[in-house]
């Protein structure tokens, strides 16, 4: 008997439906002839809690840290025991097994760790399913691979799991214990991803709080030229009082010039014009979709992930959503006309876009070299009746379909002009743009914020019709929201000062993964370290105090982003896992050595006196599950222990 083990029931059903023999449902699996298809429920196993290694760890003591298992143990999650029993029985009957976890690092781990735990040593193949429609699954079943090829991916996922446990358990225990000494009765959770994300928000909040606005004074002129009128802006030279952005800080020079300008004659000194072609935005990765959906529809990152999972699993309308890739396999290009026509047939707008597409066109999105375990989000080809979907489901499906359809439209072609006028020995600049070929642009917007300019000729005369000095004020940075925080996590190199580290981080995926970023934000909200103020995300008083009490290295993005880079190197077979864990332990001991109750006490007092918001009452003092961080927060003395830690698939500390 061949046993196929899927990551979740929805994938198991899709696999069974693609088999040549109709499947019969059994308890915990589907049977189709000589093939049985069963499933995991996310992670069936979790890292054993500290007390499983030594009963003394039931009590939290600083003297026991760091806790480092000599031989790692996994234990069944309580709600997973029944399914583990089903898999154990099926493995006893099996002659071969197919690993059908999701095509990513975590998917490789959660099925393989169960097979290893249950002692399977027979033939093991790997099935990679990108979308759940029957033809796609049938093709995947026809090209099974040897699971041995994916051992580096498993090694990286296992190292990540163990490292998260080491980091989260030890630092959370340390800071919670010194928190008690400082008079804080609650869990202080520290994680290798969540804490740097919190640090980003704390530092942004402080930039805003410390910001002191100042006025600046732009001067514009309205000019008459041969072909019409336009507006140009004064470019003061360095002899004037300017800030770093070239803004005038003293109104008097502008006012004196404005008084002399009306009726003055000048000339077009420099004219730069070029025709520009802009390709359509690429199809979405999950994070890119989360950013756009937050801006357009105000959806949280978690809501976008949940809706995409529904579109993928329940409705089977899109391909695998937890993807960090924005490219599509070359083989999908030939099927795109049929797939998109089928997927979009029930929506008038999408149908119109399909009819306007040139499916013979091939954009840079079709690139096998840039497709890894995942490809970009795309319609599966199953007809989407948007009237039967929720509003959020329909909106996100339209975005996903639109970005793929845009690949079959011409580039946006514009004629860009930059004109530099000389008037009264001063320079004035005007910029304009004319759309020549809208291409893909109407699928996204019909608005163009850049003005057009009349036809201009080098050296032509210009007469000043009027001039005015405006009084403006600098503005503080915007607080983070879901869109900007996800984008910051994606592009973390922007928040790093060290040039060498910045160059390195540009090659990584940033903080967290496509699957975990939404969960990280929600975890920080649940634990009361972040609060929502309308659409803004702000750090709470506790969040500020936690960041202030930690060594800077624990709240900066460099450590965890470089961590992800090392894990990628392991996943690609270019590095071993043990040196990564050894380096982590060295860092961990150094961080634990800097735990200070006095410093935390000062940070808590400063936070209470600051302007940061307090966490909502529903969150403060709440009994919270701290993933990989040590269980629930409850009133206890320093000698009391804590319940076991639980970990969900894809979560990050």
Q: Which CATH code fits 2-143?
A: 3.40.50.140
Mean pLDDT of the chain: 90
CA distance 106 to 86: 22
Residue that the structure tokens 């004219």 belong to: 271
Q: Output 290 or 497, whichever has higher pLDDT.
A: 290
Domain boundaries, the chain: 2-143, 156-210+480-632, 215-279+413-473, 286-408
Give pTM, 2 decimals: 0.85
CA distance 58 to 70: 17
458's tokens: 């080098």
- Report the pLDDT averaged over residues 89-110: 93
Please determine, for residue 508, whether its predicted confidence score (pLDDT) is greater than 80.
no
Confidence tier at 505 by pLDDT (50, 70, 90): low
Please determine, for residue 643, whether its predicted confidence score (pLDDT) is greater than 50.
no
One of 57, 184, 217, 320 is an active-site residue; which one?
Answer: 320
Exposed e or buried b for every residue in 456-466, given b needs 16+ CB within 10 A?
beeeeebbbee
Tallying the residues shown for the chain, one arrives at: 653
Q: What's the pLDDT tens digit per position in 347-396?
A: 999 999 999 999 999 999 999 888 876 799 999 999 999 999 999 999 99
For β-strands 29-32 and 2-6, DSSP reports them as unpaired
CATH architecture label of 156-210+480-632: Orthogonal Bundle (1.10)
Burial, 119: exposed, middle or buried (Cβ in 10 Å; 0-12, 13-18, 19+)? exposed
Shortest CA distance to 541 belongs to which of 620, 616, 614? Answer: 614
Alpha helices in 182-328 (DSSP H): 194-210, 251-260, 286-297, 301-309
Confidence tier at 617 by pLDDT (50, 70, 90): low
pLDDT, residue 642, reads 38
- Report the pLDDT averaged over residues 1-16: 94
- Report the pLDDT averaged over residues 301-329: 93
CATH architecture label of 286-408: Orthogonal Bundle (1.10)
Confidence tier at 627 by pLDDT (50, 70, 90): very low
Please determine, for residue 398, whether its predicted confidence score (pLDDT) is greater than 60.
yes
**Per-position DSSP letters for 244-273, written without gaps between them:** TT--B--HHHHHHHHHH-TT-EEEEEEEEE
pLDDT, residue 373, reads 67
Q: For 523-546, what is the HEC assignment?
A: HHHHCCCEEEECCEEEECHHHHHH
| 320 a catalytic residue | yes
Of 164-173, 261-270, 480-489, 643-652, where does mean pLDDT reach its minimum?
Answer: 643-652
CA distance 421 to 427: 6
Q: Which fold has domain 215-279+413-473?
A: Topoisomerase I; domain 3 (2.70.20)
State in Å, rounded, how far the first CA of the chain is from the last one: 40
Shortest CA distance to 535 belongs to which of 189, 293, 322, 307? Answer: 293
Confidence tier at 608 by pLDDT (50, 70, 90): confident
- Report the pLDDT averaged over residues 146-158: 96
């Amino acid at each position: 008997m061949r046993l196929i083990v899927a990551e979740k029931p929805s994938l198991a059903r899709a696999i069974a439906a693609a088999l040549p023999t109709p499947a019969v449902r059994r308890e915990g699996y589907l049977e189709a002839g000589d093939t049985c298809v069963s499933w995991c429920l996310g992670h069936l196993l979790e890292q054993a809690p500290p007390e499983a290694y030594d009963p003394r760890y039931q009590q939290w003591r600083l003297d026991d840290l760091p806790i480092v298992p000599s031989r790692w143990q996994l234990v069944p999650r309580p709600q997973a025991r029944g399914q583990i029993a089903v898999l154990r029985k099926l493995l006893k009957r099996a002659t071969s097994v197919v690993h059908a976890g999701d095509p990513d690092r975590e998917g490789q781990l959660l099925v393989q760790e169960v097979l290893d735990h249950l002692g399977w040593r027979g033939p093991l193949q790997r099935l990679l399913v990108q979308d759940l429609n029957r033809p796609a699954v049938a093709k995947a079943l026809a090209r099974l691979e040897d699971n041995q090829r994916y051992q580096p991916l498993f090694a990286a996922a296992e190292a990540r799991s163990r490292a998260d446990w080491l980091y989260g358990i030890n630092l959370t225990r340390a800071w919670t214990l010194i928190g008690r000494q400082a008079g804080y009765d609650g869990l202080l959770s520290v994680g290798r991803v969540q804490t740097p994300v919190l640090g980003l928000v704390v530092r942004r909040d402080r930039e805003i709080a410390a910001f002191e606005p100042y006025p600046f004074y732009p001067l514009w002129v309205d000019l008459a030229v041969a072909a019409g009128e336009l507006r140009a802006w004064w470019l003061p030279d360095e002899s004037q009082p300017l800030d770093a952005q070239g803004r005038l800080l003293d109104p008097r020079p502008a006012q004196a010039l404005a008084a002399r300008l009306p009726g003055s004659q000048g000339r077009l000194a420099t004219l730069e014009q070029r025709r520009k072609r802009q390709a359509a935005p690429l199809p979405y990765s999950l994070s890119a979709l989360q950013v756009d959906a937050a801006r357009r529809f105000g959806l949280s990152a978690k809501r976008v992930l949940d809706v995409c999972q529904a579109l993928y699993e329940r409705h089977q309308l899109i391909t695998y959503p937890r993807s960090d890739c924005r490219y599509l396999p070359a083989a999908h290009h030939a099927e795109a006309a049929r797939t998109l026509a089928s997927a979009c047939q029930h929506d008038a707008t999408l149908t119109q876009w399909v009819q306007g597409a040139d499916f013979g066109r091939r954009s840079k999105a079709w690139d096998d070299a840039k497709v890894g375990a995942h490809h970009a989000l795309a319609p599966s080809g199953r007809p989407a009746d948007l009237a039967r979907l929720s509003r959020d489901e329909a909106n996100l499906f339209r975005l996903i379909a639109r970005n793929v359809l845009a690949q079959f439209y011409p580039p946006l072609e514009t004629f860009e002009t930059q004109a530099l006028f000389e008037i009264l020995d001063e320079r004035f600049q005007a910029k304009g743009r004319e759309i020549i070929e809208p291409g893909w642009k109407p699928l996204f917007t019909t608005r163009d914020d850049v003005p057009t300019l009349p036809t201009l000729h080098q050296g032509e005369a210009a007469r000043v019709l009027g001039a005015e000095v405006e009084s403006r004020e600098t503005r503080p940075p915007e607080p983070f929201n879901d869109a900007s925080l996800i984008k910051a996590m994606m592009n973390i190199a922007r928040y790093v000062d060290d040039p060498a580290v910045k160059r390195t981080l540009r090659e990584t995926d940033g903080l967290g993964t496509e699957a975990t970023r939404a969960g990280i934000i929600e975890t920080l909200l649940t634990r009361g370290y972040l609060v929502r103020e309308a659409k803004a995300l702000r750090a709470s008083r506790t969040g500020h105090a936690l960041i202030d009490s930690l060594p800077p290295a624990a709240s900066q993005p460099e450590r965890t982003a470089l961590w992800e880079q090392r894990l990628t190197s392991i996943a690609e077979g270019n590095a071993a896992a043990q040196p990564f864990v050894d380096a982590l332990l060295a860092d961990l001991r150094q961080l634990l050595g800097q735990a200070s109750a006095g410093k935390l006490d000062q940070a808590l007092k400063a936070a209470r006196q600051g302007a940061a918001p307090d966490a909502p009452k529903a969150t403060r003092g709440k009994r919270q599950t701290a993933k990989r961080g040590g269980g629930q927060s409850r009133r206890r003395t320093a000698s009391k222990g804590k319940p076991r830690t639980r970990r969900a698939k894809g979560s990050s500390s």
